[in-house]
Structure 1
Amino acid sequence: MKDKSYIWISLVILVFGIWAVPKIIKKFEKADLMVVGTTPKFELVDQNNKTINNDSYKGKVYVVEFFFANCPTICPIMNANMMKLQETFYGKMDFGIASITIDPTRDTVEALKAHADGLGVKNPYWHMMTGDATYIYDLAKKFNLYTGVNPESPGGFEHSGLFALVDKEGNIRCRKDENGNPIVYYDGTSDEGVQWLKEDIKALLDE
């Protein structure tokens, strides 16, 4: 009887190993997302008057956008989609958002705090950041995300509605299109872009 018990225990361990090992290996595999660059160094101040830099997001997956609080066109859509990401990954302390204003004259710490509260920002790692205008525009260039001053544009500024996805090691990551080319950035104004982000954030969180 004792020998039979050992046999059954051995079989259970074997079956568990066959089932579990691939899952454990998968857990430590890199997601099938391309590395398209590293996050440029930055240091800004957020809506809580705290200095935020790359180290503030260390070990976190996060999404980067350039926006401004008084934007009357695409920013409300981008904000709403960021809120969807916050809701989807609510409670995940390894997920964050970096929202950087391109209108620092009006978007003071106090203004960004009011804007964040109005949106319902709850993620402690959703930093709405401001700083020197020249510094911010140079940072946007390093991210290769378009920003510009244009008095003729609604709100006085121009910017893309694209989001950058950053992994836990500070790499900018993205999926490939149907031809195998990197999409590089995600359309923060479309349902498809947000759905891709949700899927790819989850993949990076699982790395």
Structure 2
Amino acid sequence: MNKTNYSYIGIAFIILLFGIIFIPKIIDRVKNNDVTRNKRISVGQDNNFENKGDLAFIEINGKPKKVPAFSFINQDGKTITQDDYKGKVYVVEFFFTTCPTICPRMNRNLVNIQNVFSNTKDFGVASFSITPEIDTPEVLKEYANKYGITNPNWNLMTGDETEIYKLANVGFNIFVGKVENDEIGFEHSGDFALIDKNGFIRSRLDAFGNPKIFYKGIISEQEKMDEDGNEEEITMLKEDIKKLLNE
């Protein structure tokens, strides 16, 4: 037998000896909870959203972002401010009644959500018109009836255009703008913002552990995803509304 074979026999003997002596000790430590698996702290693709913890706050310069003060007129001619939503969880959108594209889809999805929480007095919606010169309280009232908006905490609001655009672009960071030489003349985000009972903007985390900030409002649960492969987030929004209602 050559030296190489002796070396293999020696290595095998050492491995066997290690198994006999140390493996039973390791098993005992596991049984006694001395050795535990590391907890996964990553938030992402292998975790279900339902199992995640509290919803994140949206922080600006290290401070949770809160809904700024506003005052507008709703579909019933009443003045509505941020104080009317105190103690309520609510969804925010920017829309206009003559929008022929994304607004009907957004509001059908919101009506779907409204109906899920029909018996919840602490849930509401804040819809701000970006064409206030067209969307008078009377027009907004007709629009509400058309879409089956029945929640008493769903206010469709109109008012000073400059203030509405400031509220959208600065207050919520939801894009709203005018488009020159365009048939419609306006463009805006189809995203929804979710607000907690204390007026803070909240959202769940994405696969990288960052707040999603907004929820896609255009794609319905029935559609599942759009032509670009973006998945619907209405189901997600419903789940997160429930979480905030239970806080």
In the alignment, structure 1 residue 121 sits paired with structure 2 residue 149: yes
| Secondary structure in structure 1 of the residue aligned to 2:83 | helix
Deviations 1:75-97 (A, max 9, x none): 01101100111011002110000
In the alignment, structure 1 residue 102 sits paired with structure 2 residue 105: no
In the alignment, structure 1 residue 204 sits paired with structure 2 residue 232: no
Match of 1:186 among 205, 215, 220: 215
Between 135-144 and 64-73, the greater mean CA deviation after superposition:
135-144
1:151, distance to aligned residue in structure 2 (A): 4.0
In the alignment, structure 1 residue 34 sits paired with structure 2 residue 56: yes
| Secondary structure in structure 2 of the residue aligned to 1:86 | helix
Aligned length: 177
| Secondary structure in structure 2 of the residue aligned to 1:38 | coil
* CA separation of 1:80 and 1:153: change in aligned 2, threshold 3 A: farther
Deviations 1:36-56 (A, max 9, x none): 111111110000000000110
In the alignment, structure 1 residue 43 sits paired with structure 2 residue 88: no
* CA separation of 1:115 and 1:151: change in aligned 2, threshold 3 A: farther
> Which residue of structure 1 aligns with residue 108 of structure 2?
80
Unaligned runs of 5+ in 1: 1-30
> Which residue of structure 2 aligns with residue 6 of structure 1?
none
Q: Would the aligned equivalents of 2:92 and 2:126 in 1 still touch at CA under 8 Å?
A: yes
| Secondary structure in structure 2 of the residue aligned to 1:114 | helix
Counterpart amino acid of 1:177?
D
Distance 1:84 1:121 in 2: 10
Match of 1:176 among 187, 205, 210: 205
Q: Would the aligned equivalents of 1:71 and 1:154 in 2 still touch at CA under 8 Å?
A: no
* Runs of 4 or more consecutive aligned structure 1 residues displaced over 3 Å after TM superposition: 151-154
1:204, distance to aligned residue in structure 2 (A): 0.4
Distance 2:110 2:134 in 1: 21
In the alignment, structure 1 residue 65 sits paired with structure 2 residue 105: no
Q: Would the aligned equivalents of 1:41 and 1:53 in 2 still touch at CA under 8 Å?
A: yes
**Larger % of helix: which?**
1
Deviations 1:135-162 (A, max 9, x none): 1111112210100111444522100000
Between 151-160 and 38-47, the greater mean CA deviation after superposition:
151-160
| Secondary structure in structure 1 of the residue aligned to 2:72 | strand
> Which residue of structure 1 aligns with residue 184 of structure 2?
155
- Larger RCO: Structure 1 or Structure 2 (Cα < 8 Å, ≥ 6 residues apart)? 1
Identity level (%): 52
1:68, distance to aligned residue in structure 2 (A): 0.3
Distance 1:154 1:86 in 2: 32
Q: Would the aligned equivalents of 1:73 and 1:154 in 2 still touch at CA under 8 Å?
A: no
1:193, distance to aligned residue in structure 2 (A): 1.3
- Rg: which structure is higher? 2
